[in-house]
Structure 1
Amino acid sequence: MGLPLHLSIKLGRYLLQQKIRGRKKFPMLVELEPLFACNLKCAGCGKIQHEAHLLKKRMPVEQAVAAVEECGAPMVSIAGGEPLMHPQIDRIVEELLARRKFIVLCTNAVLLPKHLHKFRPHRDFAWMVHIDGLADRHDEAVSKKGVFDQAVAAIKQAKQAGFQVYTNSTFFNTDSPQTVVDVLDYLNDELGVDRMEISPGYAYEKAPDQDRFLGVEQTRELFAEAFAGGRRDRWRLNHSPLFLDFLEGRRDFACTPWGIPSYSLLGWQRPCYLLADGYAETYQELLDTTDWDQFGRGKDPRCDNCMAHCGYEPSAVLATLGSLKESLRAVGVPTPGA
């Protein structure tokens, strides 16, 4: 399905500006982490393994906004940790909306009912609720019973209040094509979320459980079978067609690690959201002092099994823009042989 039309126009205009200016590296979306603390202890996430003093810190509103403005990305994903634990998260969202950024606020949704009244529906704002399977599978992934039911109730409440709600589902080697189909059918058809993101899990170095992550061939087989029978075309997936082709092994790309930079309490993370090879104080320093060519499958062993959208969706977007046929396909215009 791809991006909403107004967001596609916003991103297309931005990418054209970068081309006119001759910029070779630029952000399409920035991952903003204003805190590392979380109210859950998911087995596949290493964020809460930071030192205790870092888990207590919260990024000032002015710092968060300045980082987004510095890099210039048109879209912002506010993550963490759990962003709703930040006492000024609504202020951060308000300030970024005032600067005409498109924002998704990533949350496990446990705290969403308590804080929903602090936000207002806006066409450039969406909740991004993590749903990693149906009830038992999701609760196992987040290491706590009952969270799936809480998340579903919060999604319904947010939708009833007029908000856009997206979901983000991470899949592991404990998944099968049928579990992928089951959760996406439920989110798409029964719960009626606006859009869905999907990604194979990445083996965070500090994740407590290191045995659940997919390899490249496992990922391709999983999604090729899950997408079979035209299913992917009826799901409201928030991805470019070429990225979905990539997941199921029909296309391959090099990673674009600079396409979705990450800014946290520690600074600009090198080289991407998933690897932490040090931090830069400014976005320009990140660009100028990172050896981007050393990352990606076949270059760095840590990248060998990565097929995450933070590195490969930007590659797919750039490939889409380089092809009239793929550009038309991305906005839903039928093309011969597509």
Structure 2
Amino acid sequence: MGIPVREALRVGAYLVGQRLRRREKFALTLELEPLFACNLACAGCGKIQHPAGVLKQRMPVEQALAAVEECGAPVVSIAGGEPLMHPEIDVLVAELVRRKKFVYLCTNALLMPRKIDKLRPSPYFSWAVHIDGLEQRHDESVCKQGVFAQAVDNVREAQRRGFRVTTNSTFFTSDTPASVIEVLNFLNDELRVDRMMLSPAYAYDKAPDQEHFLGVAETRELFSKVFADGRRRRWRFNHSPRFLDFLAGDVDFACTAWAIPSYSLYGWQRPCYLMSDGYAQTYRELLEETDWSAYGPGPRPAVRQLHGPLRLRADRGAGHDGVPAGVDSRTPVLKGLDTSP
């Protein structure tokens, strides 16, 4: 199973429109960070390392919506920090859904009980709950006991209320094929989330733990073993088949960091949210004044693997034919997608 058919059709139509307009660079998924503050201090994340004054800031809803309209991306991933700490997160989500953007609200799930009454189920809205492993492994990852149990309980409550729930899981050098398979089986078969997203841990300069990020060779070895023996076909991934092929080292892609622009309290991050080579004030400035040829495979952290809701690559996001990695160039919408009702 792959990307839900409604989303794939909408994004496919958007891609066709960009091609007809002969646009070489365009946004597919906006990584929107309306705050950097978080209620956890995960070892593999450095967002809370920002200055105290910045951590207190919350992006106004109007500013966030303006960024979405400016870049035109059909998919918006709301990240942070912890987005549920934003006092108007429900207003932002409602406005994006009203515009028929596909919204993925990334969260550690701890604050879901405080906000869930203010949100409404929609085919355009999905919780994206952070689950890095089973109980011991996940609690170690987020550096706090009891988080896994709370997250699972809150996911089940969201499911009971009719929300679409996806999960995102990040794997480090401390993970093994067996531990990855174990958590994917749990999410797929026991918790029965709608879709799962997964990613190797990418190098983030501000993260306290710099020792456990996966390199390219380690990533390929891990996921080729995880996907062996046909297991991949039965898991409900929120990924295109080509992205999964990429993780296993079966295909390679060029760099299209421009496809997943990152907008935060500082502006448009150059070139993407993995790397910070300055900020642009507008999306056009980001596209036109960034030397995109300087990014791609190489010694810098951008060659680490990255996932986003559209399953594109910020470090290697498009195929050699110029089509983004989430979409097959011959059958750009339906290849490998879930077409069930």
Matches within 5 A, 1:193-212: 193-212=193-212
Query: Residues 79 and 163 from structure 1, CA distance in 2 versus in 1: closer, same or farther, beyond 3 angstroms?
Result: same
What is the alpha-carbon distance in structure 2 between the residues aligned to residue 23 and residue 75 of structure 1? 18
Consecutive unaligned residues of structure 1, counting only runs of 5 or more, are: 334-338
**Which residue does the alignment assign to 2:77?**
77
**Which residue does the alignment assign to 1:336?**
none
**Which residue does the alignment assign to 1:32?**
32
Q: How much does 1:321 deviate?
A: 4.5
| Amino acid of the structure 1 residue aligned with 2:83 | P
Q: TM-score, normalised by structure 2?
A: 0.94
Count of residues in Structure 1 that have an aligned counterpart in Structure 2: 331
| Amino acid of the structure 2 residue aligned with 1:77 | S
What is the alpha-carbon distance in structure 1 between the residues aligned to residue 108 and residue 325 of structure 2? 32
Given that 2:267 and 2:281 are in contact with CA atoms closer than 8 Å, whether structure 1 keeps it comes out as yes
SS of the aligned residue for 2:16 comes to helix
More helix by share: 1
SS of the aligned residue for 2:231 comes to helix
Matches within 5 A, 1:294-309: 294-298=294-298, 301-304=300-303, 306-309=304-307
What is the alpha-carbon distance in structure 1 between the residues aligned to residue 338 and residue 129 of structure 2? 26
Matches within 5 A, 1:277-292: 277-292=277-292
Q: Deviations over 1:91-146 (max 9, x none)?
A: 00111111111101000000101211010001100000000000000000000000
Matches within 5 A, 1:1-338: 1-298=1-298, 301-304=300-303, 306-309=304-307, 310-311=313-314, 314-315=317-318, 318=324, 321=327, 323-324=329-330, 329-331=335-337
| Amino acid of the structure 2 residue aligned with 1:311 | A
Given that 2:28 and 2:260 are in contact with CA atoms closer than 8 Å, whether structure 1 keeps it comes out as yes
What is the alpha-carbon distance in structure 2 between the residues aligned to residue 168 and residue 91 of structure 1? 24
Q: Deviations over 1:195-222 (max 9, x none)?
A: 0000000111010010011111110000
What is the alpha-carbon distance in structure 2 between the residues aligned to residue 199 and residue 320 of structure 1? 14
Given that 1:243 and 1:313 are in contact with CA atoms closer than 8 Å, whether structure 2 keeps it comes out as no
What is the alpha-carbon distance in structure 2 between the residues aligned to residue 142 and residue 162 of structure 1? 27
| Amino acid of the structure 1 residue aligned with 2:301 | R
Q: How much does 1:322 deviate?
A: 5.5
Q: How much does 1:326 deviate?
A: 7.5
What is the alpha-carbon distance in structure 2 between the residues aligned to residue 321 and residue 87 of structure 1? 36
Given that 1:320 and 1:330 are in contact with CA atoms closer than 8 Å, whether structure 2 keeps it comes out as no
| Amino acid of the structure 2 residue aligned with 1:67 | A
SS of the aligned residue for 2:314 comes to helix
Query: Residues 111 and 322 from structure 1, CA distance in 2 versus in 1: closer, same or farther, beyond 3 angstroms?
Result: closer
Structure 1 stretches (4+) deviating beyond 3 angstroms?
319-323, 325-329
| Amino acid of the structure 2 residue aligned with 1:323 | S
| Amino acid of the structure 1 residue aligned with 2:227 | F
Given that 1:31 and 1:77 are in contact with CA atoms closer than 8 Å, whether structure 2 keeps it comes out as yes
Q: How much does 1:302 deviate?
A: 2.5
| Amino acid of the structure 1 residue aligned with 2:84 | L
Q: How much does 1:318 deviate?
A: 2.3
What is the alpha-carbon distance in structure 2 between the residues aligned to residue 121 and residue 288 of structure 1? 38
Q: TM-score, normalised by structure 1?
A: 0.95
Q: How much does 1:254 deviate?
A: 1.7
Q: Deviations over 1:17-49 (max 9, x none)?
A: 000000000011100000000000000001000
Q: How much does 1:323 deviate?
A: 3.3
What is the alpha-carbon distance in structure 1 between the residues aligned to residue 159 and residue 237 of structure 2? 18
Q: How much does 1:324 deviate?
A: 2.2
State, as a whole percentage, how many aligned pairs show the same letter. 60
> What's the Cα RMSD here?
1.5
Consecutive unaligned residues of structure 2, counting only runs of 5 or more, are: 308-312
SS of the aligned residue for 1:296 comes to coil
